[in-house]
Amino acid sequence: MKGGCSSYKVLCFSRKFKTTEAEPPPDVRNLFASFSGGRDYMSADQFLRFLVDQQGDVECAPSEAEQILQQVLQRRRSSDSPSDHLVQGFTLDDFFHYLFMDDFNGPIKTQVHHDMSAPLSHYFIYTGHNSYLTGNQLSSDCSDAPIIKGLKSGLRVVELDLWPNSAKDDVHVLHGRTLTSPVTLLKCLKSIKEHAFEKSPYPVIITLEDHLTPNLQAKVAEMVTGIFGDTLFYPQAASLSEFPSPESLKYRIIISTKPPKEYLEKDKVLSDGKESSEEETSGMETPDLEAEEQSESDPDDDESIVGELKTFQQGAPEYKRLITIHAGKPKGGCLKDALNVQGDKVRRLSLSEQGLEKAVVSNGSDVVRFTQRNILRVYPKGTRVTSSNFRPNIGWTHGAQMVALNMQGYGRSLWLMHGMFRANGGCGYLKKPDFLLLKGPQNEVFDPSRPLPVKETLKVTVYLGDGWSSDFSQTHFDNYSPPDFYTKIRIVGVPADAVKKKTKVIENNWVPVWNEEFKFPLTVPELGLLQMEVRDFDRSEKDDFGGQTCLPISELRPGIRAVPLYDKKGEKLKSARLLMRFQFLYR
């Protein structure tokens, strides 16, 4: 802990923990004076002019401005307060408190506003990896609880690993060849049906890692059609030449996996033709993590799953017919062939994070070109046994639609995912920028590593912060004094735009006032994220965490905005927030 008093600790504690009220910064005072005409109150008409001229809310109607003003005043005053307060308008204090209300004055748009009528391949999609795991990749419980939590947060792609139970008569969901405890597929499917569209009406894609016999594949087909009924979408044709749009698939469930062609059995075959018990394949003392990584997203790569070829059986036709998005992975390590765009059909390709890193170096243009019509899924490497995550922006800047992260792997990578998918009303689908979808006259495509001229400059002013004294105990950051807050700011996107900055440290204050301005030149703002983290400076120990947020730059609303903060798990803090100003300066 930071320094305190020795023999006078009680007196020091009492004196130093006196809290102060946040006060309007000079910019807010000047704006109030300007738009109120120097009077003590800002009328509804004057407030409307502020919203239009200063905040860029050009579509705001007079009735809407009046309604916001009245709601703010009613919230700030008791119901028996004199009505003239509601008529006259905002005082400076009212105006300042309005600016700090993120539900009225948040930093990004809250409605779906992207074009949702393009093919699925034209969108970034909120994607989970091993969506059923509650903790680490080796020994945690499998459950429908993380699936439900993900769907409620806007997750649109749920991954399930399917394995036979020990009796070979039912289907379990678990991380194969590990000690994770199973959950039944039936339970997972029922939970998906119940919670799929609580957050978003746009389609939920279930990606299946299939390690099943044809008989069990047929049972899966029965379960899926029985549970989802008309909600389940699948095409009449054997394969698609173009994916449907999110708009056309609203409130629909679709399946993505590799279509089964043949089933390869182990050398040891039971008399009824079924493979040996699950315990023999999954109860290994040391899980083969590298083999698991290689088999990820390739359920029929049976050499790594069940050994040498023993017999052939045809896959269940009912099961094949339900697959809307056909999946696969590079065969024999030939990435160039895997990225070949086929004119008559579209598909999904899966790469590990290392596979993507290699691909963007050797075949970066092919990756972008592939993702213009097809879907690319990127997943964490198999050695991430603690459910940690990789940085997702490499995939996004190359057009990858399904960048799959462990939703229980809390940290900066997952914060980026949360921030990215706050865009477009949090519906889980983000329309990719046009430059990721277009080809040049020489068939050239966007290259995120190629330097481009600055398109715009984002000017960020960090005025002050408040709310920590409500969200944290008096001694959370320090036993004997208030915290010493500073804010770290960085841009994440294409390499040329990446930068880190931070404010000065404000000592011993629950309401830090920074009044600092930063400028960020951006070459590709469409793919940029503004990540911020508040920390309490400590000279002798690691700086304490005080909240974080991540915002898509393309969605930022100009003007002075209230920016809510989130905890390490991405849950919104009740009170802690920043007052900031966003301005875009164009060349």
Compute the radius of gyration of the chain from its Cα atoms. Answer: 27
Answer yes or no: is pLDDT of 434 > 60. Answer: yes
pLDDT for residue 339: 93
If one compares 316 and 409, the residue with the highest pLDDT of the two is 409
3-state secondary structure of 333: helix
Distance CA(581)–CA(368), nearest Å, equals: 35
pLDDT for residue 392: 98
- pLDDT tens per residue across span 483-533: 999 999 999 999 999 999 999 999 999 999 999 999 999 999 999 999 999
- The two tokens of residue 31 are 């704006």
- pLDDT tens per residue across span 73-120: 999 886 445 544 446 899 999 999 999 999 999 999 999 999 999 999
For all residues of the chain together, what is the average pLDDT?
88
Amino acid at position 505, single letter: V
Axis-axis angle for helices 62-76, 44-53 (nearest 10): 110
Same domain? For 163 and 258 the reply is yes
Same domain? For 429 and 475 the reply is no
Report if residue 142 sits inside a domain: yes
pLDDT for residue 412: 97
If one compares 87 and 219, the residue with the highest pLDDT of the two is 219
Answer yes or no: is pLDDT of 538 > 60. Answer: yes
Amino acid at position 371, single letter: T
Sign of the CA dihedral running 506, 512, 518, 522: positive
Which residue out of 122, 175, 211, 326 is catalytically annotated?
Answer: 175
Closest CA to 211 of 237, 187, 253, 178: 178
Answer yes or no: is pLDDT of 420 > 70. Answer: yes
State which residues form the domain around 77: 26-99
Same domain? For 198 and 236 the reply is yes
Model pTM score: 0.89
- CATH of residue 211's domain is 3.20.20.190
- pLDDT tens per residue across span 39-50: 999 999 999 999
- The two tokens of residue 142 are 């499998």
- The two tokens of residue 65 are 């401005």
Closest CA to 102 of 522, 565, 494, 521: 565
Annotation marks residue 172 as catalytic: no
Report if residue 14 sits inside a domain: no
Distance CA(197)–CA(499), nearest Å, equals: 37
Backbone angles phi, psi at 7, to 5 degrees: -80, -5
Distance CA(98)–CA(286), nearest Å, equals: 58
Domain-terminating residue out of 436, 468, 502? 436
pLDDT for residue 87: 61
The total of structural domains in the chain comes to 3
Distance CA(102)–CA(94), nearest Å, equals: 14
If one compares 462 and 17, the residue with the highest pLDDT of the two is 462
Domain-terminating residue out of 410, 436, 462? 436
Q: Which DSSP symbol is given to 522?
A: E
pLDDT for residue 90: 96
Annotation marks residue 175 as catalytic: yes
Answer yes or no: is pLDDT of 252 > 80. Answer: yes
Amino acid at position 102, single letter: D
If one compares 300 and 83, the residue with the highest pLDDT of the two is 83
Q: Please, are residues 309 and 318 in contact by the beta-carbon 8 Å criterion?
A: no
- Kindly state the percentage of the chain with pLDDT values over 90: 80
Q: Please, are residues 98 and 105 in contact by the beta-carbon 8 Å criterion?
A: yes
- CATH of residue 575's domain is 2.60.40.150
Same domain? For 363 and 510 the reply is no
If one compares 350 and 311, the residue with the highest pLDDT of the two is 350
- pLDDT tens per residue across span 115-136: 999 999 999 999 999 999 999 9
Distance CA(488)–CA(510), nearest Å, equals: 17
Amino acid at position 183, single letter: V
Which residue out of 97, 122, 129, 326 is catalytically annotated?
Answer: 129
Report if residue 449 sits inside a domain: no
- pLDDT tens per residue across span 146-194: 999 999 999 999 999 999 999 999 999 999 999 999 999 999 999 999 9
Least confident of 14-18, 246-250, 268-272, 568-572: 268-272
Report if residue 558 sits inside a domain: yes
- pLDDT tens per residue across span 338-389: 999 988 899 999 999 999 999 999 999 999 999 999 999 999 999 999 999 9
- pLDDT tens per residue across span 56-76: 999 999 999 999 999 999 998
Q: How confident is the model at residue 266 (pLDDT cuts 50, 70, 90)?
A: very low
Same domain? For 152 and 289 the reply is yes
